[in-house]
Amino acid sequence: MKPLQTSSGDLTADRRADYAEMLHTSGDHAAAAELLLGALELAPQWAAGWFRLGEMQEAAGAPDLAAQAWTTALRLDPADRLGAVLKLQLIGKAAATQAPPSAFIETLYDHYAESFEGELVDRLGYRLPECLDRAIRAARPGRFPLVLDLGCGTGLMGQKLRPIADRLAGYDISAGMLRQARAKGVYDLLVKTDLQDFCYSGPKADLVTAADVFIYLGALDKVMNKIAGMLADGGLVAFSVETLACDGLSGSAGFALQPSRRYAHSQGYVERTLDANGFSVLSLQATIIRQDRREPVDGLAVVASLLSGSEKSG
């Protein structure tokens, strides 16, 4: 994928944009937006600049102007590597969707690949792999012949899985993340793939994991149906979601886009989706996924077993 143009390509415009950032940081959002708009007059094709303008205008309390800026960013970058459509959804200027743009997820994780673990583990207190590892071992002690780690990232979950996996494969949308995972040497196979369009034709797995992955998928029925097809009868799926307080917050969907541009899911929705796809819940534990702006992010760590054909019919 072509790298996102973070510079306007115009020296004067970039200087104005830098000054706009200083004003924005100081809290003068309206002045920052006005200055950045002037920079964009010099570089009108700069998608990242229009996206940032929208953020400044939103902070200045001008949602209609923010919507115009994000719409322009989306027109200039239809793949939506910055996630402008999600911003539009959050202010009610675009229809809700069941998943974010794939290019946004890929760009996000490619950008953070090198600093990802330091940020997530050291600064944000991310301990989800340890939590899922304990839940998996409690649900089924022993080894698994084949484990598939979906959204494997830099391999934090893979490091926990390696001691209990005879064969371990990781899948991720970000080439940058996969490079970090490959350097750890814990996976037998690493594959670049988009989980929204994931096609698996390998042997049936005994365990599939998705640690902190479904926050960027929204609707879970499609992916859970795919996971069911990847597992042997009795195989386990272990995953996490950020918690949506109740179904009523998201209507009948059971999931909702948050200001973080991540999705949260209700416990009821998770349980219904598992049941509809032939899974039996073995454990469902409330946990803290990470810190976000110094506040804990509540979540669920889930382990479920795929029922055999006879169990489903019974």
pLDDT at position 249: 45
Q: How many residues does the chain have?
A: 314
Dihedral angle sign, alpha carbons of residues 185, 187, 193, 194? negative
Q: Is the model's pTM score more than 0.85? A: yes
Contact 149, 170 (CB under 8 A): yes
Contact 267, 274 (CB under 8 A): no
pLDDT per residue as tens digits for the range 109-149: 999 888 888 888 888 888 999 999 999 999 999 999 999 99
pLDDT at position 309: 63
- Tell how strand 189-192 and strand 263-265 pair up: unpaired
Alpha-carbon distance of 312 to 240, in angstroms, equals 24
Q: How confident is the model at residue 275 (pLDDT cuts 50, 70, 90)?
A: very high
Alpha-carbon distance of 127 to 157, in angstroms, equals 10
Packed helices 29-42 and 47-59: angle between N→C axes, nearest 10 degrees: 160
Q: Output the average pLDDT for the chain.
A: 92
Is the confidence at residue 77, as pLDDT, over 70? Answer: yes
Contact 258, 264 (CB under 8 A): yes
Is the confidence at residue 299, as pLDDT, over 50? Answer: yes
pLDDT at position 58: 97
pLDDT at position 202: 92
pLDDT at position 6: 76
Alpha-carbon distance of 254 to 154, in angstroms, equals 29
Task: Write down all domains in the chain, each with its CATH number in brackets.
Answer: 11-95 (1.25.40.10), 118-313 (3.40.50.150)
Contact 66, 92 (CB under 8 A): no
pLDDT per residue as tens digits for the range 192-241: 999 998 889 999 999 999 999 999 999 999 999 999 999 999 999 999 99
Q: In 152-171, which positions are buried (b, 16+ CB within 10 angstroms) versus exposed (e)?
A: bbbbbbbebbbebbebbbbb
Segment among 2-6, 49-53, 76-80 with least mean pLDDT: 2-6
**pLDDT average, residue stretch 59-82:** 97
